[in-house]
Amino acid sequence: MQSLALIENWPVPTAAAAVVRADGTVAGTRGPTGRQFALASVTKPLAAYAALVAYEEGAIELDEPAGPDGATVRHLLAHTSGLAFDEHQVAAAPGTRRLYSNAGFEVLGEHIAKATEIPFADYLRQAVLEPLGMSSTFLDGGASPAKDGVSTVDDLVRFAAEVQQPRLLDARTVAEAMSVAWPGLKGVLPGYGHQNPNDWGLGFEIRDGKSPHWTGSSSSPRTFGHFGQAGTFLWVDPDAGAACVALTDRAFGPWAVEVWPTFTDAVLAEL
């Protein structure tokens, strides 16, 4: 795909990208796709998938209590538990605001570790990474399941293929995770300001009508995924029947706000 060559003009030391279709075929790659990059918040979809495996295994229930009083596993996954961004402090009642929360995912990891009697990093590896052959992806023991993952484009292509055609999970579970939880809640999308509504699924951000946004102007409202402050993103556009992964080694900033949407539009135009 010629559109992937656009990453060579990004103002970053290193970038790698790939597109994978819904049938699992790789449409194109660019850059060092086997190099490990820090994921930052692109760790969250991986952690969420592990939580969904724990749910299907019967280790947890999505609506069981977890986190602050009145909150559940579902609240933690959907950033509606009321926990603050990076502090384990309650800033709102559960289900009333979309407060993007690293702390919420850390509480989620602790909850799953207690329920399964397996450290969360080990559970993630056993439940998601090893079955998908993601041998270059890891979360160190004690690291944050919100932001401390490390992976490669090659590995994330495997994950993006799984999300589009699930093998580890029932397709109905994945469809629920990609549907809006607590529709209509306002909130701040980090790096892009206040959004009304700030729609989210279970661990995956949903584009809907958000503006500005890190995906493209031609991205469908059903597009879901995540971006990270490490200059990383993964999106899946069900209407296009494809997903795209891009990893860099430059922190997110104005450069990404400028080049990512144009890049995504070029990729979608070529599909």
**Could you read off the pLDDT of 148-187 as tens digits, one per residue?**
999 999 999 999 999 999 999 999 999 999 999 999 999 9
Q: Which pLDDT score, from 0 to 100, does residue 12 have?
A: 98
Q: What is the pLDDT of residue 10?
A: 98
Residue 142, pLDDT above cutoff 90? no
Phi, psi angle pair for 125, to nearest 5°: -65, -45
Residue 217: closest CA among 157, 170, 159, 260: 260
Confidence at 40, pLDDT banded by 50, 70, 90: very high
- CATH number of residue 38's parent domain: 3.40.710.10
pLDDT over 90 (residue 82):
yes
pLDDT at 250: 98
Average pLDDT over residues 2-10: 98
Task: Tell me the per-residue pLDDT of 235-261, one tens digit each, with 9 for 90 and over.
Answer: 999 999 999 999 999 999 999 999 999
Can you give the residue range of the structural domain that contains 148? 2-270
Is a pLDDT exceeding 90 seen at residue 78? Answer: yes
For residues 29-58, give the mean pLDDT: 98
Alpha-carbon distance of 104 to 200, in angstroms, equals: 14
At 111 the pLDDT is 98
Query: For the whole model, what pTM was predicted?
Result: 0.97
**Residue 141: what pLDDT?**
80
Rounded to an integer, the average pLDDT of 206-222 is 97
CA-wise closest residue to 181 among 154, 203, 202: 202
Q: So what's the pLDDT on residue 143?
A: 94
Spatial distance between the Cα atoms of 240 and 257, rounded to a whole number of angstroms: 22
Query: What's the total number of domains in the chain?
Result: 1
CA distance 246 to 238: 18
pLDDT above 90 for 145: yes
